[in-house]
């Protein structure tokens, strides 16, 4: 007799249950939840550092930091005067909804408009795990090359916003912007695209303003 155990399915089904709990908490507290994903080093934390300076003057925001081993990213965010919860996965290559739910227990949800989650640096696994988020943002940096869109399509297909970071390095690489735009249109024509340099602060105000307006529209429609 063959007994088959569908481990993957039950794992994702359990994740969906927790994601539903998170959605319920967000609705109850009128919070907008954002899941930020990219490969390691694309600039997620630098983007957050620069953007929070602007965001915090307009909306009440906290950050959940995913990291395999350290508290370095949460320390960088706390240094901006922002509440940051560090989740250490101890090896796992993605955050799941259970972990994010635990981080929610550490935050005063009634005092927040927006929670930004920095996922583990990885272009594959995080895309599979629903965190109950309202918006998925994927970051790609110039030094990674434009072919990552077609090589890791799921990540780009399932996101709603795309940030091209390290735009300051464009003149020093063979990154092909025209090819990137063509591939993005093929894989996800609905993606909202921003070009930024987190290091230089280029484009930070434009995307932060867009995020603020999305959060405010959402809050209005929910209340």
Q: Which residues contact ligand GTP by CB under 6 A?
A: 38, 40-46, 73, 121, 165-166, 168-169, 197-199
Q: In the bound complex, which residue of the shown chain has the CB atom lying closest to ligand GTP? A: 121
- Per CB under 5 A, 73 contacts Mg ion: yes
Q: Min. distance of Cβ 82 from ligand GTP in angstroms?
A: 15
**CB-wise, 26 or 141, nearer to ligand GTP?**
141
**CB-wise, 148 or 166, nearer to ligand GTP?**
166
**CB-wise, 44 or 94, nearer to Mg ion?**
44
**CB-wise, 73 or 183, nearer to Mg ion?**
73
Instruction: Report how far apart, in Å, the C-alpha atoms of 186 and of each of 118, 149, 153, 165, 191 are.
Output: 26, 10, 10, 21, 11
CA angle in degrees (0–180, nearest 5) for 69-73-76: 145
- Per CB under 5 A, 49 contacts Mg ion: no
Stretch that binds Mg ion, among 45-53, 108-116, 149-157, 203-211 (CB under 5 A): 45-53
Number of Cβ within 10 Å of residue 174's Cβ equals: 6
Q: Two tokens at 68?
A: 């395999």
Number of helices and strands in the chain (H, E): 8, 7
| Non-local CB neighbours of 66 within 8 Å, separated by 6+ positions | 87, 89, 94, 95, 99, 117, 118, 119, 120
Exposed, middle or buried: residue 78 (CB in 10 Å: 0-12, 13-18, 19+)? middle
- Per CB under 5 A, 44 contacts Mg ion: yes
Q: In the bound complex, which residue of the shown chain has the CB atom lying closest to Mg ion? A: 45
**CB-wise, 10 or 41, nearer to ligand GTP?**
41
Q: Min. distance of Cβ 41 from Mg ion in angstroms?
A: 8
Exposed, middle or buried: residue 76 (CB in 10 Å: 0-12, 13-18, 19+)? middle
Q: Two tokens at 165?
A: 């970071």
**CB-wise, 21 or 128, nearer to ligand GTP?**
128
Report how many residues bind Mg ion under the rule CB under 5 A.
Answer: 3
Residue list 135-174, contact with Mg ion (CB under 5 A): none
Q: Min. distance of Cβ 52 from ligand GTP in angstroms?
A: 13
* Residues contributing to the site for Mg ion (CB under 5 A): 44-45, 73
């Amino acid at each position: 007799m063959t007994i088959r155990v569908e481990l993957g399915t039950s794992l994702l089904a359990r994740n969906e249950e927790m994601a539903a709990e998170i959605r319920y908490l967000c609705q109850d507290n009128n919070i907008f939840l954002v899941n930020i994903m990219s490969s390691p080093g694309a600039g997620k934390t630098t983007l957050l550092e620069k953007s929070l300076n602007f965001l915090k003057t307009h909306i009440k925001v906290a950050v959940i930091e995913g990291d395999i081993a350290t508290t370095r990213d949460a320390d960088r965010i706390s240094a901006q005067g922002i509440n940051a919860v560090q989740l250490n996965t101890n090896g796992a290559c993605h955050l799941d909804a259970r972990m994010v739910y635990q981080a929610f227990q550490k935050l005063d949800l009634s005092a927040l408009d927006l929670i930004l989650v920095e996922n583990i640096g990885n272009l594959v696994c995080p895309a599979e795990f629903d965190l109950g988020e309202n918006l998925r943002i994927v970051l790609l940096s110039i030094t990674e090359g434009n072919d990552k869109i077609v090589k890791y399509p799921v990540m780009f297909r399932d996101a709603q916003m795309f940030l091209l970071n390290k735009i300051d390095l464009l003149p020093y690489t063979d990154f092909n912007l025209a090819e990137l735009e063509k591939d993005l249109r093929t894989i996800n024509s609905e993606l909202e695209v921003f070009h930024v340099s987190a290091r230089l602060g280029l484009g930070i105000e434009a995307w932060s303003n867009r995020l603020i307006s999305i959060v405010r529209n959402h809050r209005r429609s929910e209340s």
